[in-house]
Structure formats: structure tokens, C-alpha cells
Amino acid sequence: MKSIKSYKSIGGVAILLGGLALTSTGNAASISASNSCPGGVGCDTGVSSPFPSYGFSMVIEQRTSDNTIFDLTLTNTSSTSTPLALIDAFAMNMGGGTLGTDFSVGGFTAPWTFGATGPGFFNGVNFTYVGDANSPGDRLAPNGMLSFWFDFTTNTSFDPWLTAGTDTGGGFGGGGDSGQLAVSFQQLGSGGQDSDLLAANWVNTPSNPPNPPNPASEPPVLMLMLSALAAMLFSRKKIA
């Protein structure tokens, strides 16, 4: 909040001409990716009947306080019918930058591990990076959310995600689902024995413009200050 004040001296008295503190708040810029079944892209028709309703949404929001930090939230948007569809892992590509050199990742709100794929960690997966629940009890249930952050050394844009290449789920839940982001679901089907991988691409999320200052509180203050100024000018004129 920034307050701008200007003063004018009249007859040795300092008059506050303007002291309104104008504030505005706005939503941070963001991108998102989502997919769901039935009706989405790449739904596995082999999942046993009754066909469950399962899906995900991931949002990346740039911090307004530090534009090199991006907050990510993965949400399990599946229905709450049993057996519960659980998210046990996700995979993503990055269009630039290297973990540990150009950016760091942390702040996980649940015991999950994030790292570059390769020997010792999801070796053979097509995607560059994977986030994985540390244990079955850490998987995301319907309406569950996992939040974490990316902290870049210099990057201030969404380009690392928006310009990332797409991959299929080879080595990561199988299937031909292709996207910049893929999410793995477990415990699908009537007996909870099935699994599926859903993929999606990032899209821009329009940000709301800043809220204008509340005009309702300003006119009375302005009128009071103008009235005081007029009264002092009138008094000065009468004395003269």
C-alpha cells in the first residue's frame, strides 16, 4: 500500500491536500492442465464396469511477491464413489532449465518425491520429471490436493511448461496417452484392480485485472478536506 501526501502551508497551518491510500489487488497469472473420464481424452475402455468417474487438474500460479517462484497444485477431481480413484504419480516435461541448476523444487504438502527420470528413478520413462507418492498412504484421494513450488534462478515466465514437448506414457503406466503432463490413477474399476494414465497440455488461464480502489469511501474524505480548506481560506480573507 502506497500513500501519497502533499502539503500546502496557509497562514502557518499545514493543510493535508491528499492523503488517500489507494490499494488494488489482483489474481496472479496462471496456467492449467486437466483431463477426466468418461468423456475425456485417452480414457481406458478396458477399465472394468461400472466405469468410474476420475480426473485431475493441475494449476501453476506465479507468485506476485517473487515472479521467479511458481506454485503448483495437483487436485484429484475424481468422484467419491468407491473404490476411490487414487493418484499415485505424475510426470511432466520441461521446455528449458535443469533441476538443481536452473530451478529447485520443494514445499510438498505431502510425502512425495520429485526428480529427473533416469537410473534409480523411473528409468525408461519418456517424460523428463516425475513426482511420486512415497507410500500407498500418501496417494491423493478424490478432492485431495498436492501443492509444491518451483523456484527459478532467472526465469520469470511460464515458457518452461508451455514450450515443453509432449510424450506418451511409455514406461509410466503404459498407454498411448500423449501430453506435456501425465497423471497416473490406481484403484479403478469395480474391484479397484485397474489403473489408467491421463495426459493433458498446458493452457493459459486469463488473469483478472486488478480490482479498482473502492470509490465509495473516497468522496466523503475529499469533501471534508475541501470544506476545511475553504473554511480556512475564508477565515484568512476575513482577517485580512
3-state secondary structure of 37: strand
Helices (H), ranges, the chain: 159-162, 218-239
Task: Report pTM.
Answer: 0.74
Residues in the chain: 240
Model pLDDT for residues 86-145, shown as the tens digit of each residue: 999 999 999 989 999 999 999 999 999 999 999 999 998 999 999 999 999 999 999 999
Q: Which residues contact 219 (CB under 8 A, 6 or more apart)?
A: none
> Which has more pLDDT, 208 or 53?
53
Give the mean pLDDT of 62-79.
96
Least Cα distance to 175 among 119, 91, 49, 235 occurs for: 91
Amino acid identity, position 78: S
Q: Find the distance separating the first CA and the last CA of the chain, reported in whole Å.
A: 42
